[in-house]
Amino acid sequence: MLPSCVRFLTLLGAASSSLAGVTVQKPGLTVPPAYASHKTDVEKIFTTSYAAYKEFAFGHDELHPVTEGVGDDLGGWGASLVDAMGTMDLLEEAVNFTATIDFSTPPVPQLISVFETTIRWVGGLISAYELSDEKYPILITKAKEVTDKLAYAWVGNNTMPYHSVDFTTNTPQIGTNSIAGVGTLSLEWLALSHYTGNETYGKLTEGGVIAVAQLPAPLPGLAGQNVDPSTGQFTNLYVTWGAGSDSYFEYLIKYARYTNNANTIFVDSWKTAVDSSIRTLLRNSTVGGHMYLADYDAEQLIRHVGSHLACYYAGNWLLGGKLLQNQTIIDIALQLNDGCWNTYASTETGIGPETFAFISSDGNFTGGAAITDEQLAFYNEHGFYITGSDYIQRPEVLESNFYAWRVTGDTKYLDRAASAIASFNKFLPTTVAFACLNNVNDITQGFIDDMESFWHVGLFRRSVCVLNLCIYRFAEVLKYLYLTFDDPTHISLDTHVWNTECHPLRAPPALDSY
Ligand SMILES: *[C@@H]1O[C@H](CO)[C@@H](O)[C@H](O)[C@H]1NC(C)=O
Ligand SMILES: *[C@@H]1O[C@H](CO)[C@@H](O)[C@H](O)[C@H]1NC(C)=O
Ligand SMILES: *[C@@H]1O[C@H](CO)[C@@H](O)[C@H](O)[C@H]1NC(C)=O
Ligand SMILES: *[C@@H]1O[C@H](CO)[C@@H](O)[C@H](O)[C@H]1NC(C)=O
Ligand SMILES: *[C@@H]1O[C@H](CO)[C@@H](O)[C@H](O)[C@H]1NC(C)=O
Ligand SMILES: *[C@@H]1O[C@H](CO)[C@@H](O)[C@H](O)[C@H]1NC(C)=O
């Protein structure tokens, strides 16, 4: 039997934009004219941010082409959104710049993350290629160039890749990897196999996911957070839909859709993970009855914690619930989405915090500090309390809101997106563009980093990794917001599968069931 990824290549070759099979979006959906101005609002934020980006960062000597965001911001934006906005000159400028990048010789020796580079660069370049009607083959050439370096993360007969590769020596750093690091490469690498005709990319990444999915997990379908590629075993049995594990789960169902179940292990693993989560991790807060997915630690204790990052789960469950035509999953996903939105609706800025916690009928254990009086007072009012107050321009809550809109057609999700735009315009602008916040519930605590260095050091990167997220994430935030107010048939959940960095990839027509 051919590996599923090879069979898929034939399938994608025959893909057309015609709809078939099960649909994810509400049929006939349109954005009411009253909401048109919000699309313009997003375009304005984009134009301001992009102008600042060009002024301070674009093509700057300091920028390292691999770890930095050019692929994401230009490759990704360049096609996915810039093209959607019809500003093709910016796209061509970005393509021209990309053509000058030499991935084989990094300016300074350094370890390159396989995961980060895949989701930003490989995903961004391929998405750019597709959305510009395959006019710039150089984008595939560059995606191949960087992926050929990343492929050194597989050594010997390991089925799982190491976390990072030294591009100077073409050797990986030996150590553990997260399951997200192993499991969030498959869409991008399989797409690359399709465009290059080299099956190795898809085979390597698919093999890693299958290896994780086949390990005995702490809870059915719910893998531990970390693995050692040299042994192929878990090194950590912490279960979470949040950081470290997140996009492993996310890609199980997306890969099932992208490959149309060529191998059923992906959809089966996702179903088992969701079923197990509903049985074991789902919690209602004792105040407000908000629904959350708890963590489950290596001591088998439920941790009553949540995070902005994990809030992608609502959108992911909506996608999977629609593909599986399972109303139970859809209904729970919509409640999880409401729980995440409540973290926005409850703060002074209307923007949600980085991390939070809650209390349910089985207690309040978080694995961290005990709840303070101030937190308890906030909890008694809002049904969650803030444990990490910053906002680093993460997209997940608005990502799930985008899915909720496209799936249900309920305009309350357009109102929520509009409210977030208003908050960004009110609280994030600096003299140059848009910043990250120290405390979403206390604006007097100001921006992260001071303005000047924030824009150079923080926003436009360098060694301060956390702050780097601001520009990366902004690409995602604005794309999800833009798409929320865009014509739903333009880049549809029925024709595309989004990578975890908001780069849509063209999918084959859907099956009748998954
Ligand atoms: C991109 O490069 C092409 C070929 O060199 C050139 O014709 C075009 O003007 C450039 N576009 C931009 C926007 O710089
Ligand atoms: C396919 O890609 C792999 C991974 O980079 C590489 O080792 C191999 O040489 C390529 N095969 C061909 C035929 O180009
Ligand atoms: C890996 O390959 C070596 C031979 O190259 C073999 O001895 C070993 O058993 C293999 N290990 C696994 C886990 O398959
Ligand atoms: C829908 O999903 C739920 C939760 O996993 C499961 O219990 C139920 O059996 C599924 N329904 C069908 C018809 O498969
Ligand atoms: C949570 O509350 C909903 C009603 O809002 C209820 O249907 C569900 O059974 C509750 N779930 C748990 C895990 O308590
Ligand atoms: C948190 O849990 C501890 C241990 O069960 C309990 O003593 C305490 O009262 C709880 N606090 C709140 C605010 O529920």
Catalytic residue among 396, 449, 476, 501: 396
Residue with the smallest CA separation from ligand 5 atom 5 is 289
Place of tokens 């990052």: 309
143 in contact with ligand 2, CB cutoff 6 A: no
Spell 332-343 as b/e; 16+ CB within 10 A means b: bbbbbbbbbbbb
At 124, the pLDDT band (50, 70, 90 cuts) reads confident
As a whole number, mean pLDDT of residues 338-365 equals 98
* Residues 6 or more apart in contact with residue 430 via CB below 8 angstroms: 447, 451, 454, 455
CA dist., res. 287 & res. 302, Å (int): 18
User: Closest ligand 3 atom to the C-alpha of 157?
Assistant: 1
Does pLDDT of 84 surpass 90? no
As a whole number, mean pLDDT of residues 262-278 equals 98
Q: In angstroms, what is the span from residue 299 Cα to ligand 6's centroid?
A: 19
Q: Domain segments of the chain: what residues?
A: 4-506
- Name the residue of 200, 203, 205 to mutate for ligand 2: max ligand atoms within 8 A of Cβ: 200
Whose atoms come closest to the Cα of 377: which ligand? 6
As a whole number, mean pLDDT of residues 63-89 equals 43
Of the candidates 83, 194, 182, 72, the residue with the CA atom closest to the CA atom of residue 144 = 194
Q: In angstroms, what is the span from residue 269 Cα to ligand 3's centroid?
A: 27
* pLDDT tens-digit series, residues 362-395: 999 999 999 999 999 999 999 999 999 999 888 9
Report helix, strand or coil for 359. coil
As a whole number, mean pLDDT of residues 65-84 equals 41
* pLDDT tens-digit series, residues 291-319: 999 999 999 999 999 999 999 999 999 99
CB 221 within 8 A of CB 275: yes
Catalytic residue among 68, 83, 116, 250: 116
At 58, the pLDDT band (50, 70, 90 cuts) reads low
Residue with the smallest CA separation from ligand 1 atom 1 is 96
| pLDDT value of residue 497 | 97
Q: In angstroms, what is the span from residue 241 Cα to ligand 4's centroid?
A: 19
Domain 4-506 -> CATH class: mainly alpha
* pLDDT tens-digit series, residues 146-182: 999 999 999 999 999 999 999 889 999 999 999 999 9
User: Closest ligand 1 atom to the C-alpha of 93?
Assistant: 13
* pLDDT tens-digit series, residues 232-247: 999 999 999 999 999 9
| pLDDT value of residue 87 | 55
Of the candidates 164, 177, 176, the residue with the CA atom closest to the CA atom of residue 109 = 164
pTM above 0.85?
yes
Report helix, strand or coil for 140. helix
Helical H segments across 81-178, by residue range: 82-85, 88-99, 114-117, 123-131, 138-150
* pLDDT tens-digit series, residues 446-478: 777 533 233 322 222 222 223 333 444 566 888
Q: Is 500 annotated as a binding residue?
A: yes
354 is catalytic: yes
Catalytic residue among 83, 246, 449, 476: 246
